[in-house]
């Protein structure tokens, strides 16, 4: 076995960014497995390493097998995965540590709290990594890996990690959907949606120095009934948006 060597199981957004950071930190990446040969090849070539879409061809000697797959795919892949040594890790916010039970004796979770897109560069050094392992020895092995990749490493149990992932859905996925709604409203009026960017950036930057509850502004926070009524009027032919508008307005109001 080559203790620091890596096999990446998966070739999506997380595998791509993790792979690039592992390579930047001089971990030997032995191979990339992808669900399709094409996707495995793209990442394999990006990392300058071997690639396969055949589980039986996965190399046996890696120090770490890092599974970055869709959550629904991992249980199936594990069933057919060879009983190799090394440490097995997954990178999911929602799957428990125990998913590896019965397959291997040294395993853990390495959850990066970030939104990854393949074509976008990222400062991985500051991505918070949440880690968990099956025993102290595994934990130490995982912690060494995680600390080599990021300056922000935190232990976290599977139970708590579920809440972290849920919070990330609100703070990232839902937030991005609100950006999309705002863009669509402006495009319909032939207003350049990019004029929103300074506002969006400042809204995010503000909470680096203030608590979100103290940063809350706008007609809902002020309970400005005239504006709320006018906005509802503007949304009258968009029932889904009106519903979202009413719900979030009511929710902000109830916090005052």
* Residue that the structure tokens 């853990």 belong to: 108
Q: Is 79 in the site for its own copies (CB under 8 A)?
A: no
Could you tell me whether strands 107-112 and 29-33 are parallel, antiparallel, or unpaired per DSSP bridges?
unpaired
Q: Is 24 in the site for its own copies (CB under 8 A)?
A: no
- Of 118, 147, 177, 256, the one binding its own copies (CB under 8 A) is 177
C-alpha atoms less than 13 angstroms from C-alpha of 244 in its C-beta half-sphere: 10
CB 85, min distance to its own copies, A = 29
Q: Is 21 in the site for its own copies (CB under 8 A)?
A: no
CB 37, min distance to its own copies, A = 22
* Rounded Cα distance, 16 and 119, in Å: 10
* Rounded Cα distance, 20 and 120, in Å: 12
CB 41, min distance to its own copies, A = 23
CB 60, min distance to its own copies, A = 30
Q: Which helix (H) or strand (E) holds 201?
A: helix 197-206
- Of 77, 122, 139, 143, the one binding its own copies (CB under 8 A) is 122
Q: Is 236 in the site for its own copies (CB under 8 A)?
A: no
Q: Is 55 in the site for its own copies (CB under 8 A)?
A: no
Site for its own copies in 58-77 (CB under 8 A): 70-72
CA distances from 90 to 21, 36, 87, 121, 227 (A): 16, 19, 10, 22, 48
CB 7, min distance to its own copies, A = 24
**Of residues 85 and 128, the one with the C-beta less far from its own copies:** 128
Structure tokens at 10: 């998966």
**Of residues 79 and 120, the one with the C-beta less far from its own copies:** 120
DSSP string, 48-109: TSEEES-GGGS-S-EEEEEE---TTTHHHHHHHS----SEEEE--SSS-GGGGTTT-SSEEE
Site for its own copies in 142-161 (CB under 8 A): 152, 154, 156, 160
Stretch that binds its own copies, among 38-46, 60-68, 132-140, 221-229 (CB under 8 A): 221-229
**Of residues 137 and 213, the one with the C-beta less far from its own copies:** 213
CB 77, min distance to its own copies, A = 15
- Of 42, 59, 148, 186, the one binding its own copies (CB under 8 A) is 186
How many of the other CB atoms lie within 10 Å of CB of 119?
6
Q: Is 182 in the site for its own copies (CB under 8 A)?
A: yes
Whats the size of the chain, residue-wise?
256
């Amino acid at each position: 076995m080559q203790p620091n060597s890596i096999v990446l199981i998966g070739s999506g957004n997380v595998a791509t960014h993790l792979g690039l950071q592992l390579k930047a930190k001089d971990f030997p990446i032995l191979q990339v497995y992808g669900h399709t040969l094409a996707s495995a090849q793209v990442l394999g070539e990006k990392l300058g390493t071997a690639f396969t879409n055949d589980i039986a061809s996965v190399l046996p000697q890696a120090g770490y097998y890092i599974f970055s797959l869709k959550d629904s795919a991992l249980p199936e892949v594990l069933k057919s995965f060879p009983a190799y040594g090394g440490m097995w890790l997954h990178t999911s916010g929602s799957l428990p540590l125990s998913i590896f039970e019965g397959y291997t004796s040294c395993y853990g979770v390495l959850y990066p709290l970030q939104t990854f897109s393949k074509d976008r560069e990222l400062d991985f050094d500051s991505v918070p990594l949440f880690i968990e392992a099956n025993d102290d020895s595994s934990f130490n092995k995982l912690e060494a890996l995680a600390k080599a990749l990021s300056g922000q490493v935190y232990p976290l149990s599977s139970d708590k990690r579920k809440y972290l992932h849920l919070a990330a859905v609100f703070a990232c996925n839902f937030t991005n959907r609100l950006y999309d709604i705002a863009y669509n409203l402006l495009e319909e009026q032939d207003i350049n949606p990019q004029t929103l960017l300074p506002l969006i950036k400042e809204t995010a930057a503000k909470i680096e120095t203030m608590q979100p509850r103290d940063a809350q502004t706008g007609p809902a926070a002020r309970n400005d009934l005239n504006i709320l009524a006018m906005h509802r009027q503007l949304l009258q032919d968009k029932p889904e948006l009106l519903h979202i508008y009413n719900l979030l307005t009511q929710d902000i109001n109830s916090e005052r």
